[in-house]
Amino acid sequence: MNQRVPAGSRLEQEFSPREREALNRALRFLDYRPRSSGEIRDRMRKWGYGKRVTGKVIGYLEDCGLVNDREFGRIFMEELVEKQYGFYRVREKLFDKRLARDVIEEVMVDYPAEREFERAYELGTARAERLSGQGEQVVQRKLMGFLERRGFPGGVAREVVRSLGRVDTELGRE
């Protein structure tokens, strides 16, 4: 990306020197990876910019299409689902990216809840193989904790542990 405010541009007339400096810093911040407006706002506050300057810069970035919280949230959610995170962990990580609650709720509508058990089962199976040789109760407790930390609902985690309990983890067959 490596964008800067060009000298002599319309921006030079609309933005004060302090605002141009803030915009340039925000653009450099976006060079590394896409960001949410909340992440940019937090960083600009850390850099010492006030609400007015921050709001103007973020507004400009949104108008130019360089910052789009809905699109960012959708892509980030898809990446987390691909990494086998469950509903609650995906939602938590979206909040961590400083997205607004309404944006998160809108993005989470597309969460593939119908595949929640399947993804948890796949993850649980891989973990159960690594835990084989330990007592059945120990394996069940560790699997349950693991799946819940990954963000899967308790009911889904319990059902996966029950299903895997019917499979002989030592031999890998029913």
At residue 165, the pLDDT reads: 79
C-alpha closest to that of 93 among 109, 107, 113: 107
Q: What CA–CA distance (Å, rounded) separates 69 from 62? A: 9
Q: What is the DSSP letter of 163?
A: H
Q: What CA–CA distance (Å, rounded) separates 88 from 104? A: 12
At residue 72, the pLDDT reads: 97
Per this entry, what is the length of the chain? 174
Mean pLDDT for the stretch of residues 124-146:
89
At residue 90, the pLDDT reads: 97
At residue 74, the pLDDT reads: 97
Q: What CA–CA distance (Å, rounded) separates 53 from 161? A: 52
Q: Which amino acid is at 94?
A: L
Q: What is the DSSP letter of 5?
A: P
Q: For the CA atoms of the chain, what is the radius of gyration?
A: 23
- Name the pLDDT band for 50 (thresholds 50, 70, 90): very high
Residue 159 pLDDT greater than 80, yes or no: yes
Question: For residue 174, what are its two tokens?
Answer: 């029913």
- For residue 72, the surrounding DSSP H or E stretch is helix 69-82
How far is CA 39 from each of CA 99, 100, 123, 129, rounded to the nearest angstrom?
Answer: 8, 11, 31, 39
Pick the CATH number of 10-63 from 3.10.620, 1.20.120, 1.10.10, 3.30.450: 1.10.10
3-class state of residue 133 by DSSP: coil
At residue 132, the pLDDT reads: 80
Q: What is the DSSP letter of 135?
A: -
- Name the pLDDT band for 168 (thresholds 50, 70, 90): very low
